[in-house]
Copies of this chain bind each other. A is one copy, B any other.
Amino acid sequence: MTVELISVGTELLLGNIVNTNAQYLAEECALLGLTMYNQTVVGDNPRRLSDAVRTALDRSDIIILTGGLGPTEDDLTKEICAEVMGCPLAEDSHTRDRISDYFKNSGVKEIPGNNWKQAMVPEGALVLDNDNGTAPGLILVKGGKRAILLPGPPDELIPLFVGQVRPYLQKLRPEVIVSQMVKICGVGESRVEEELLDLIDRQANPTIATYAKTGEVHVRITASASTEETAMKLIKPVVKEIKRRMGMAVYTTKAEETLEMSVVRLLKKFELTLATAESCTGGLAAGRIVNVAGASDVFHQGFVTYSNKAKRKLLDVSKSTLKKYGAVSKETAREMAVGGAFAADSDLCVAITGIAGPDGGTEEKPVGLVYIACCLGDKVTVERYQFKGNRAKVREQSVVRALDLVRRTVLESQK
């Protein structure tokens, strides 16, 4: 079964926004085992939009349109699709009631007249209730072809897709598609591919795909079978084998768990607290940790010590260490971690000091040189990295490696 995307909106043609919806829907469709050959972006223009819809219906079984379902005169997606597919519009009383309720709940007394346009629905269309806006999603079926219309704002589109479109598409296929993620940190994509080469080479069902992220590699294992249970049975041994080969580098097998979530989960599990002492990353590592809801159980404070004076005062890094080895050195990183744990009265402290650039590099200590230290009890581990990329990239990679060092330190301590 083939699917294609039509994103409707002048703001995409003007480059005002990035088309993240296309990426989201493409990934979801691939996971559902649907084949995508084309994506199109077109503006709110009747002729060009209807050309795009006709072409897409000609060559694909399913078309997904996003955007252009708003209440204004410019919004034409529904009208054009109804016309091309020959389904006249009629008011849907259920949708009318929902729009009315939506405004009532938002505390709006007078409903703008043009919003009633959104209660008009093509004849025979399946209406997908939208809990986060006034435009419902719609599914039109005609002559074996399907058009799925979704509102453009991601916070409306994603819940609609997850709750209603995905189950609808799943039912269209005789097979169930199930996938699982294995997330790996601290090992490059080429190393991962090398380690898994024979598995990747002989893949059929399940399939194995690797995705490179900053400092991470995600491996997705996808199986299709007649039932979810059978698919899971196909996936399980592959996941187990990948975990065996990659060992401690695997930080989670849950798609929704981020690296910082897995760090917080581990700290909670072993009842440990963490502090941060950051120089070149300037608070970004703490920021990632605090991004986890409930991080307050394990993270109480962090230090951003950008100057040498701050390193001395807040973290008790010795003057002679700074003088002898410099702020970017394994010795300073070590003292930052030890001093940070003491000052914060925490079990662990991770420290980051480096040269993020663009200036400040020397032959001996080039831009991208970063030392990361982590202490737990008497044990301190210091790692040296030479990162590539611009200032933001160097800092981002430093944060990922720092989080991973915390994770590994905790795991090692519990062996």
Contact = CB atoms under 8 A, between A and B. Distances in A.
Given A37-B13, A37-B48, A284-B284, A307 B314 contact: no
A101 B17 CA distance: 38
A234 to B, nearest CB: 21
Interface in A291-307: 291, 293-296, 299-307
Interface stretch (A24-32, A72-80, A245-253, A370-378): A24-32
Contacts of A12: 22-23, 26, 39
A39 B39 CA distance: 8
A290 interface: yes
Interface stretch (A135-143, A274-282, A400-408): A274-282
A363 interface: no
Nearest to A20: B18
Interface in A3-39: 12-20, 22-30, 36-39
A310 B301 contact: yes
A287 interface: yes
Interface centre among A14, A40, A41 (most CB of B within 10 A): A41
Nearest to A294: B359
A197 interface: no
Interface residues of A, number: 67
Given A27-B16, A38-B40, A276 B304 contact: yes
Nearest to A392: B291
A133 interface: no
A71 interface: no
A302 B304 contact: yes
A409 B282 CA distance: 22
B39 A41 contact: yes
Contacts of A45: 37
Given A283-B290, A293-B359, A14 B37 contact: no
B16 A211 contact: yes
A395 interface: yes
A15 B30 contact: yes
A13 B26 contact: yes
Contacts of A16: 27, 211
A283 B278 contact: yes
Nearest to A302: B304
A67 interface: no
B290 A287 contact: no
B301 A307 contact: yes
A191 interface: no
Given A27-B16, A358-B293, A344 B310 contact: yes
12 contacts: A12-B39, A13-B30, A13-B38, A15-B25, A15-B27, A282-B283, A283-B287, A284-B290, A293-B357, A295-B306, A301-B304, A301-B313
Interface of A: 12-20, 22-30, 36-43, 45, 48, 52, 211, 276, 278, 280-287, 289-291, 293-296, 299-307, 309-310, 313-314, 344, 357-359, 391-392, 395
Shortest beta-carbon contacts, A-B, top 8: A282-B290, A283-B283, A15-B27, A15-B26, A302-B304, A283-B286, A301-B310, A300-B307
Given A12-B23, A283-B302, A300-B305, 14 more contacts: A15-B28, A18-B23, A19-B22, A37-B45, A276-B283, A281-B287, A282-B290, A282-B291, A284-B290, A287-B287, A287-B395, A290-B306, A299-B306, A310-B344
